[in-house]
């Protein structure tokens, strides 16, 4: 497991982390270790200092630079454990890594005797500028390395790494001294320049120093060549990205192929079909498509494939115009802006609509883009990267053969969803970049948030965890300010309470699903059946916790019975209960009928059905009058909806519960039409008509809910009336009956001279008698 138990001692934890490879060190784990050492051992102990040093190294490797926090960790670590072998080894490793990447070389301009005075001065000033830039870098690195000059007493030998570092620093000291001499020689030479004349003696001294500097540059380059870990800036950034291992390897291979292609060209070899620079990036939201596009721009630039590292980011809204000619104009302008770099079109599939009318100009963007990519004026001078959801991008490219041919399959890169582990690492990086750390309890709370939100393809991956951490910081800060609590931990630690903002909101929603079920009038058999299923689920979960075999839980259900018997209400409660049990992430109810699933022409029914299923993911999809999907009229697409439903139920498995509802006989016919349906619906709930007593209770409940009262004696008469002549629609009929009674009461009260408060709230026998009389008129 990534996050170790709290029972692990600080000594065990320290040794475990200390023995990890450098690139496996995590700032967050080290900060938690540091806190544990402080509490259980002491803030000034050697292990605390060495932990600070490991923190500095971990942050340096993650950020790729010495930022203020790296400097702080380094200073604290050196102060506490400067004589420690581990401290010296880590510090040496960081200095040698920095030194191996240091770029101090520059092109030395040639000053000729025939140059005019202004030309000579310009070249001298150019060298002054180059020296100033590089001298700052050299001085900073030598200052940092000065700590290593004073070795601890009794330490007579150096490691191989320290010997290499010593050689590199010796050369760098010589470069620094040469820079100083060069600065003096440049000043002396510049003072002698007059017209086309200048001191030959000073020029000779200058040339000698420049020759020495070139030799030092050669020595430094040879020293740097001993290290095989040098990477371009873009590849370094790619390596530091969380997760995406397969994508990283694909991009690295692509990078080295382009490098090979460049070298082959330099040596005069011809390649008839060069590798395309155009890319298709697919993935769900927050998987890093835009970030990867920017990295590709840097790679193309660093390899000299394109002259600019810029990315022009656009989408349909910025390319499609409102009238003829405007779309082409906007698209060509985007191409012009991207010349020399990359044109990145996000959600590119939205440019093509299957049911587009003649006034939709998305296809014009595609045609204009393809034309620009192949024209003499633009071809090969910019690259195009298209991005979007995987399935939508596949359909988009296959619908546009001309465009598809410009994006070879080998240049299609899919960015998968991040794992929970990767998302937690991203969350910790977000927290660290804001000078916060997450406690282990906060990580567990954050994990719960992630799992609840990871429902379908719309899950925002890295975007979601960034928002969660930002929201936690807001929650933490608002609470601290309200309580006037400004201790150090209020500014630096995010605990589980900081992530409780949504948990509290859920707790305030009120009753549990089982409490709501028990409040229902009647339906005793249904209640027992639901509670039996709930008990079964709990026991299977308990068995799983005890590592005993668990029986699979069948949650899809068929609700059959007359209308108005509580099927939709129980479906909502059923969803609530499954959420309470942790089986559904959202626990919401989405109600659908035939019209929500079936379209009027081929291909659209599957799309409509999938859209409704996507809405229901994490909850319950309740299909009322589901038998209507089996209509046998010619050209009916109900069968397609059923087949799509069965397919999507398999695909989403535990992330979706479906309830089919309708009359008893018709539902049985539906089950027999598709073997896939009957095999997936093993749980049947039959809703019987309500008894007269239950309907009277329901009527009274409806009246109470809207602020009316039915006297006890009247209730008895109403129950008898219902018994003698049950209303159509069961509970729904009682609701209609009450509405009619309230309207009749209003008519009656308007004819009274004086109306009391009791008159406004108490329904009389006359109100219901009038209702019953009117009902009989319709028969």
**What is the CATH classification number for the domain harbouring 268?**
3.40.50.300
Evaluate whether 92 touches 122 at the Cβ level (below 8 Å): no
Supply the pLDDT for residue 423: 92
Same domain for 701 and 637, yes or no, is: no
In a domain, 684, yes or no: no
Same domain for 132 and 19, yes or no, is: yes
Supply the pLDDT for residue 469: 92
**Band (779; pLDDT cuts 50, 70, 90):** very low
Supply the pLDDT for residue 262: 84
In a domain, 492, yes or no: yes
Quick one: average pLDDT of 576-580? 88
Say if residue 4's pLDDT is above 50: no
C-alpha distances in Å from residue 318, one per residue of 314, 360, 645: 6, 14, 36
How far is Cα 525 from Cα 682, in angstroms, rounded to an integer? 17
**Band (509; pLDDT cuts 50, 70, 90):** low
Same domain for 319 and 370, yes or no, is: yes
How far is Cα 504 from Cα 472, in angstroms, rounded to an integer? 13
Quick one: average pLDDT of 435-448? 88
Supply the pLDDT for residue 335: 94
Quick one: average pLDDT of 644-648? 89
**Band (661; pLDDT cuts 50, 70, 90):** very high
Same domain for 188 and 279, yes or no, is: no
Supply the pLDDT for residue 328: 92
More confident: 237 or 125: 125
Same domain for 394 and 409, yes or no, is: yes
Supply the pLDDT for residue 273: 73
Domain end point (choices 457, 474, 508): 508
**Band (355; pLDDT cuts 50, 70, 90):** low
Same domain for 80 and 172, yes or no, is: yes
More confident: 384 or 745: 384
Report which DSSP code applies to 276: P
Same domain for 440 and 397, yes or no, is: no
Supply the pLDDT for residue 726: 79
Say if residue 350's pLDDT is above 70: yes
Say if residue 743's pLDDT is above 50: yes
At 521-561, the pLDDT tens digits run 988 898 898 898 889 888 988 888 888 887 888 889 999 98
Same domain for 520 and 481, yes or no, is: no
Most confident of the ranges 151-155, 320-324, 328-332, 754-758:
328-332
In a domain, 685, yes or no: no
Give the domain extent around 498: 420-508
In a domain, 773, yes or no: no
Say if residue 770's pLDDT is above 50: no
Quick one: average pLDDT of 315-334? 90
CATH number at 496 reads 1.10.8.60
Supply the pLDDT for residue 502: 60
Report which DSSP code applies to 551: P
Supply the pLDDT for residue 155: 46
Same domain for 379 and 452, yes or no, is: no
Average pLDDT over the chain reads 85
Least confident of 264-268, 394-398, 499-503, 631-635: 631-635
How many folded domains does the chain comprise? 5
**Band (318; pLDDT cuts 50, 70, 90):** very high
Say if residue 452's pLDDT is above 60: yes
Say if residue 413's pLDDT is above 90: yes
Evaluate whether 529 touches 682 at the Cβ level (below 8 Å): no
Domain end point (choices 172, 197, 226): 226
The kind and range of the H/E element at 767 are helix 765-777
How far is Cα 684 from Cα 559, in angstroms, rounded to an integer? 6
The phi, psi pair for 683, rounded to 5°, reads -110, 125
In a domain, 778, yes or no: no
Same domain for 306 and 177, yes or no, is: no
Same domain for 387 and 441, yes or no, is: no
In a domain, 577, yes or no: yes
In a domain, 571, yes or no: yes
Domain end point (choices 208, 226, 244): 226
Supply the pLDDT for residue 227: 78
**Band (466; pLDDT cuts 50, 70, 90):** very high
List alpha helices for 313-439, DSSP H.
316-319, 326-338, 362-374, 390-398, 401-404, 420-433
Quick one: average pLDDT of 10-14? 87
Q: What is the dihedral of CA 470, 475, 477, 478, to 10 degrees?
A: 140
Say if residue 5's pLDDT is above 70: no
In a domain, 530, yes or no: yes
Same domain for 587 and 617, yes or no, is: yes
């Amino acid at each position: 497991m990534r996050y170790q138990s709290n029972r692990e001692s600080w000594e065990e934890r320290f040794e475990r982390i200390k023995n990890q490879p450098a690139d496996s060190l995590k700032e967050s784990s080290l900060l938690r270790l540091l806190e544990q050492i402080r509490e259980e051992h002491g803030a000034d102990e050697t292990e605390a200092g060495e932990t600070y040093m490991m923190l500095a190294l971990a942050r340096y490797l993650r950020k790729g630079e010495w930022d203020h926090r790296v400097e702080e960790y380094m200073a604290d670590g050196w102060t506490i454990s400067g004589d420690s072998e581990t401290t010296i080894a880590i510090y040496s490793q960081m200095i040698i890594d920095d030194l191996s990447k240091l770029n101090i070389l520059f092109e030395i301009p040639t000053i000729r005797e025939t140059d005019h005075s202004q030309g000579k001065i310009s070249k001298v000033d150019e060298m002054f500028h180059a020296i100033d830039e590089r001298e700052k870098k050299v001085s900073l690195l030598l200052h940092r390395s000065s700590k290593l000059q004073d070795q601890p007493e009794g330490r007579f030998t150096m490691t191989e790494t320290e010997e290499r570092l010593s050689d590199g620093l010796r050369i760098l000291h010589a470069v620094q001294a040469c820079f100083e001499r060069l600065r003096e020689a440049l000043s002396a030479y510049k003072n002698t320049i007059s017209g086309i004349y200048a001191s030959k003696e000073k020029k000779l001294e200058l040339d000698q120093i420049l020759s020495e500097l070139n030799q030092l540059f050669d020595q430094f380059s040879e020293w740097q060549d001993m290290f095989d870990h040098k990477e371009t800036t873009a590849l370094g950034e790619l390596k530091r990205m969380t997760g995406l291992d397969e994508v990283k390897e694909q991009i690295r291979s692509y990078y080295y192929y382009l490098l090979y292609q460049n070298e082959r060209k330099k040596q005069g070899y011809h390649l008839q079909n060069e590798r395309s620079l155009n890319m298709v990036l697919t993935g769900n939201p927050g998987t890093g498509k835009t970030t990867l596009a920017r990295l590709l721009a840097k790679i193309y630039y660093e390899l000299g494939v394109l002259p600019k590292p810029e990315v022009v980011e656009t989408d349909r809204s910025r390319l499609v115009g409102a009238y003829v000619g405007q779309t082409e104009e906007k698209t060509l302008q985007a191409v012009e802006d991207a010349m020399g770099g990359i044109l990145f079109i996000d959600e590119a599939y939205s440019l093509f609509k299957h049911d587009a009318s003649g006034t939709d100009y998305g296809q014009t963007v595609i045609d204009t883009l393809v034309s620009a990519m192949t024209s003499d004026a633009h071809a090969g001078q910019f690259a195009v990267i298209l991005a979007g959801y995987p399935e939508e991008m596949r359909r988009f490219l296959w619908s546009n053969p001309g465009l598809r041919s410009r994006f070879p399959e080998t240049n299609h890169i899919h960015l998968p969803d991040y794992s929970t582990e990767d998302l937690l690492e991203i969350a910790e990086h977000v927290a660290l970049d804001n000078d916060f750390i997450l406690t282990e309890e906060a990580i567990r709370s954050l994990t719960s948030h992630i799992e609840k939100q990871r429902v379908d393809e719309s899950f925002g991956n890295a975007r979601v965890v960034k928002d969660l951490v930002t929201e936690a910081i807001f929650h933490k800060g608002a609470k601290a300010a309200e309580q006037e609590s400004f201790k150090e931990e209020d500014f630096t630690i995010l605990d589980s309470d900081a992530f409780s903002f949504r948990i509290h909101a859920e707790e305030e929603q009120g009753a549990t699903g089982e409490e709501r079920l028990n409040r229902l009038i009647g339906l005793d058999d249904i209640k027992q059946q639901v509670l039996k299923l709930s008990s079964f689920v709990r026991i299977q979960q308990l068995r799983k916790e005890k590592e005993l075999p668990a029986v699979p839980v069948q949650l899809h259900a068929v609700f059959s019975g007359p209308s108005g018997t509580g099927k939709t209400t129980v479906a909502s409660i059923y969803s609530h209960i499954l959420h309470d049990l942790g089986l559904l992430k959202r626990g919401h109810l989405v109600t659908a009928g035939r019209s929500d699933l079936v379209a009027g022409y081929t291909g659209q029914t599957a799309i409509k059905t999938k859209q409704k299923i996507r809405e229901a993911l994490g909850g319950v999809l309740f299909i009322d009058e589901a038998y209507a999907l089996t209509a046998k009229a010619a050209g009916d697409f109900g069968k397609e909806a059923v087949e799509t439903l069965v397919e999507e139920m398999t695909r989403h498995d535990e992330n979706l519960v479906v309830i089919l509802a309708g009359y008893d006989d018709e539902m049985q016919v539906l089950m027999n039409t598709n073997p896939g349906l009957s095999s997936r619906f093993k749980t049947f709930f039959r809703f019987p008509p309500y008894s007269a007593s239950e309907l009277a209770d329901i009527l009274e409940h409806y009246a109470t809910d809207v602020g009316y009262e039915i006297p006890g004696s009247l209730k008895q008469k109403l129950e008898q009336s219902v018994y003698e002549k049950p209303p159509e629609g069961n509970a729904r009929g009682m609701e209609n009956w009450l509405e009619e009674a309230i309207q009749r009461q209003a008519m009656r009260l308007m004819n009274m001279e004086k109306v009391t408060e009791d008159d406004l709230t108490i329904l009389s026998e006359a109100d219901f008698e009038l209702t019953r009389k009117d009902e009989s008129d319709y028969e």
